[in-house]
Amino acid sequence: MDRASMKRAAACAALDYVGSDVIGVGAGSTAEAFIDVLAASDRRPRAAVAASERSRALLVEHGIAVVSLTADVLPLAVYVDGADEADGELRLIKGGGGALTREKVLASAARRFVCIVDESKLVRALGAFPLPVEVVPMAQALVERELRALSLTTQ
């Protein structure tokens, strides 16, 4: 099975967790695969909150209502996204893309986090690529100090 087929199969499995409540949808190619299979399925959430502008546009393109994360949609029933890496113990690396903070907010706003991972994401040891850290401006000096204390580099 090629990578796109594996990603699609994993995205199809995530449909089992989608009902009629508001859901959260991540960012990146795996989330896009999920949006495509969601749109082609008979599962229709009332609406979705998107972690990225690209995900938002795809949801709208497929006729799925997109809403903001407000008190009246909390908690989200489920948040569906992909992982960058997963090991044999099901530990994950998330956040190699550009929607770091929005993904974390949606994951914490949901009752359940469904992470789509196909075998192309499986690794023996986590950490094959540099992991970005997104920082709010107010916390920059604090975060830099903590990263240096861990002997990590900042850019």
Q: Find the catalytic residue in 53, 61, 85, 103.
A: 103
DSSP per residue, 125-148: SS-SS-------GGGHHHHHHHHH
Compute CA 142 distance to the chain's CA centroid, rounded to the nearest angstrom.
Answer: 26
Active site residue 103: yes
In a 13 Å sphere around the CA of 126, the CA atoms on its Cβ side amount to: 15
Token pair 């909150």 is at which residue? 49
- Whether residue 115 contacts residue 28, with contact meaning beta carbons closer than 8 Å, is answered with no
- Residue 82: strand, helix, or coil: strand
Return the closest-CA partner of residue 109 out of 135, 82, 72, 134. 72
- What is the set of active-site residues? 103
